[in-house]
């Protein structure tokens, strides 16, 4: 398996620290509002990476944080006249709902920055002791950037070049030793949440949060650190400087970054009126369509979002689901159970699409080519599965399709696609409830069927049903 490593700018063979196990950290969102579709891309991409690693047999410890203390959260709380904690807790809940709707698996651990403050204080203390950080008179603690000799190795930026271009990565202060030094701890402002520390009542800088949460839940050295390419500099660069100076070992062996998401070929921004939350997209589309759309491009490529491309993704997903529904129907109604010799040969032939899928995913998680392999399998199934097929043959094809789609996080049998036998069983249960004069139960069953797209009609001849 090869992964493009931002650190080396090359595809490298993936060799985990511990055989059979993967320690993976993905930077999560700052929770001050509903997540937008730019946030959704790394969530979907790295969830798919995790799914494939698990499919390939690895035990994955997947950590993705929530930044629940930040200037934007505090600003939102002040605007609403509430607390930063109330704002962050509300939007963590909403974020988890959106993730579930996109079929993003919960992380092994979702740490919250506010619950890891002591670890941050400990790491900052270590950096001060080692001479990599210093305290100024108001209690602010800065990282001494130039002391870390390898600073810039991830972003491939050179401090001298940045200085020549008059760029700064921190806020210039009177007591700062160098413009490039960045904040590890800062004093509280009036009305802000704060914590006690050896230096002042205050709160941590953003960069130290991820270094500490990664260390606590994954260890000093991890296999994969991932996020959007906008995080390469300064966030991930600063994480490396902090973690490697404090821990004395390589922070992460592989760095993965997804490309930007544009809207109609323009950068997404509220000022342009092209800013969409996942919740807003969910009002127009099943969020499986958004997921399928995201995976149709290679994760490192820039991705353009538009109504036309979403419609194309919807149609593509429908092709796969229609083929799956057909296989489910054939399996339900098959007259013969056992596979013929010719069918056994076809099942073996279908495995070539599995191999194509795996080859695409092993090559830096090329989901675009992996989806092409799924479409080839769909065509194969449509050609070879029929009403004359055995139950075992159709079941084998369905299982193969479902397995590959599961790796992509694509659900091929939506909840609305019930088998005929399941519908009949529920109708029978409803009829029994009516005989028992349990009309509330009968109505409950009718509503449950309606929610799954099944319409009932009570006639003199009995109950008739149809799919909406």
Q: What is the CATH number of the domain that holds 362?
A: 1.20.120.640
Half-sphere exposure of 151 (CA within 13 A, CB side): 23
Using CA atoms, how far apart are residues 199 and 181, in angstroms rounded to an integer? 17
Are residues 427 and 375 located together in one domain of the fold? no
- With respect to residue 267, please indicate whether it lies within any of the assigned structural domains: no
- With respect to residue 99, please indicate whether it lies within any of the assigned structural domains: yes
Tell me the residue range of the domain where 385 lies.
312-408
Query: Mean pLDDT, to the nearest integer, of 373-396?
Result: 97
pTM: predicted TM-score of the whole model, two decimal places: 0.87
**What per-residue confidence (pLDDT) applies to 169?**
47
Read off the pLDDT of residues 350-380 as tens digits, 9 standing for 90 and up. 999 999 999 999 999 999 999 999 999 999 9
Are residues 183 and 47 located together in one domain of the fold? yes
What is the overall mean pLDDT for the chain? 93
Read off the pLDDT of residues 259-298 as tens digits, 9 standing for 90 and up. 999 998 888 777 777 778 999 999 999 999 999 999 999 9
Are residues 156 and 203 located together in one domain of the fold? yes
State the CATH number of the domain containing residue 174: 3.40.50.620
Are residues 322 and 178 located together in one domain of the fold? no
Are residues 382 and 444 located together in one domain of the fold? no
Q: Give the DSSP letter of residue 354.
A: H
- With respect to residue 296, please indicate whether it lies within any of the assigned structural domains: no
Count of structural domains, the chain: 3
CB atoms within 10 A of CB 148: 19
- CB-based contacts of 107, cutoff 8 Å, min separation 6: 26, 62, 63, 64
Residue whose entry in the numeric block shows the structure tokens 């993936």? 14
Are residues 240 and 157 located together in one domain of the fold? yes
- With respect to residue 63, please indicate whether it lies within any of the assigned structural domains: yes
Q: How far is CA 134 from CA 41, 157, 184, 284, 423, in A?
A: 37, 24, 9, 52, 69
Single out the residue of 318, 272, 257 nearest to residue 293, CA to CA.
Answer: 318
């Amino acid at each position: 398996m090869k992964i493009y490593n931002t650190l080396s700018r090359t595809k490298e063979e993936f060799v985990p620290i511990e055989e059979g196990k993967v320690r993976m950290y993905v930077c999560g969102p700052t929770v001050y509002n509903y997540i937008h579709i730019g946030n959704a891309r790394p969530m979907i991409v790295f969830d798919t990476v995790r799914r494939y690693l698990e499919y390939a047999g690895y035990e994955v410890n997947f950590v993705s944080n929530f930044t629940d203390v930040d200037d934007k959260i505090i600003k939102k709380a002040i605007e609403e006249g509430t607390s930063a904690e109330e704002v962050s807790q509300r939007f963590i809940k909403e974020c988890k709902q959106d993730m579930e709707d996109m079929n993003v698996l919960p992380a092994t651990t979702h740490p919250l920055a506010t619950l890891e403050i002591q670890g941050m204080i400990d790491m900052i203390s270590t950096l001060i002791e080692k001479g990599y950080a210093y305290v100024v008179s108001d209690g602010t603690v800065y990282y001494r950037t130039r002391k870390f000799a390898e600073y810039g190795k991830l972003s491939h930026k050179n401090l001298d070049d940045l200085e020549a271009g008059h760029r700064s990565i921190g806020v210039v202060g009177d007591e700062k030793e160098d413009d490039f030094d960045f904040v590890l701890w800062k004093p509280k402002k009036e009305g802000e949440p704060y914590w006690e520390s050896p230096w002042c009542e205050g709160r941590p800088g953003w960069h130290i949060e991820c270094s500490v949460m990664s260390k606590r839940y994954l260890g000093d050295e991890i296999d994969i650190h991932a996020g959007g390419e906008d995080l390469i500099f300064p966030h991930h660069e600063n994480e490396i400087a902090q973690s490697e100076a404090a821990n004395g070992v390589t922070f992460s062996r592989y760095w993965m970054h997804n490309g930007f998401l544009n809207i109609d070929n323009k950068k997404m921004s509220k000022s342009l009126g092209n800013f969409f939350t996942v919740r807003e997209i969910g009002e127009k589309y099943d969020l499986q369509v958004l997921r399928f759309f995201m995976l149709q491009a290679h994760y490192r490529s820039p991705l353009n979002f538009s109504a036309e491309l979403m419609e194309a993704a919807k149609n593509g997903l429908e092709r796969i689901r229609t083929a799956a529904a057909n296989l489910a129907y054939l399996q339900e109604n098959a007259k013969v159970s056992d596979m013929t010799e010719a069918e056994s040969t076809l099942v073996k032939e279908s495995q070539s699409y599995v191999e194509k899928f795996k080859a695409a995913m092993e090559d830096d998680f090329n989901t675009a080519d992996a989806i092409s392999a799924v479409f080839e399998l769909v065509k194969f199934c449509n050609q070879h599965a029929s009403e004359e097929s055995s139950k075992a043959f159709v079941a084998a094809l369905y299982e193969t399709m479902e397995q590959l789609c599961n790796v992509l996080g694509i659900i091929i049998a939506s909840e609305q696609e019930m088998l005929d036998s399941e519908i009949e069983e529920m109708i029978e249960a409803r009829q029994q409830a009516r005989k028992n004069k349990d009309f509330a139960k009968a109505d409950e069953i009718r509503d449950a069927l309606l929610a799954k797209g099944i319409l009932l009609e009570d006639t003199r001849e009995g109950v008739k049903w149809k799919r909406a």
